[in-house]
Amino acid sequence: MDKIPLTRHGQTTLNEELKRLKSKDRPEIIRAISEAREHGDLSENAEYHSAKEKQSFIEGRIKEIEGILSRADVIDTSKLSGSVKFGALVTLVDEDTDEEKVYQIVGEPEANLENGKLNLKSPLARALIGKDEGDSVEVRTPGGQRSYEILSVEYR
């Protein structure tokens, strides 16, 4: 199986979620299922079916996180420097709109565009890899062709 790149922060976040799911969410849903069973006929018990569905989601997420963590290749980004690579905090300016954006290039499990976490496999991240401050990149996005200039590259 392939290794999954993660930052230290990503590993910590996943470990915290796993701990919460196992120590808080799982016991709560077991109690909810038990209470719903006490209401009688399970075939028409919406609370029971809802709780079982939530239990299924929790158990699936636990397995998913455990799988990710077992294959994680945790990279200490504070020891990196130079051109854009995994873990880089990249400040870009859109050459058409002059809008500045800051992204950190991360692995798929921790990617979240709304929080500035850019998936390593995304078109923009692939275009940025290997580039330096001052370089321009052309990216074909679902919204069309975009041009960005790299203002800064940092590692924390």
Q: pLDDT-based confidence at 112, cuts 50/70/90?
A: very high
CATH code 3.10.50.30 region(s) in the chain:
77-154
Give the C-alpha distances (Å, rounded to integers) separating 27 from 17, 55, 67, 95. Answer: 15, 10, 21, 52
CATH number of 4-75: 1.10.287.180
What is the distance, to the nearest Å, from the Cα of residue 87 to the centroid of all Cα atoms in its chain? 13
| CATH number of the domain located at residue range(s) 77-154 in this protein | 3.10.50.30
Model confidence, pTM: 0.85
CA 4 – CA 69 distance, rounded (Å) = 8
> pLDDT digits over 55-75, tens only?
999 999 999 999 999 999 999
Residues carrying CATH 1.10.287.180, the chain: 4-75
Q: pLDDT (tens digit, 9 = 90+) per residue, 79-101?
A: 999 999 999 999 999 998 999 99
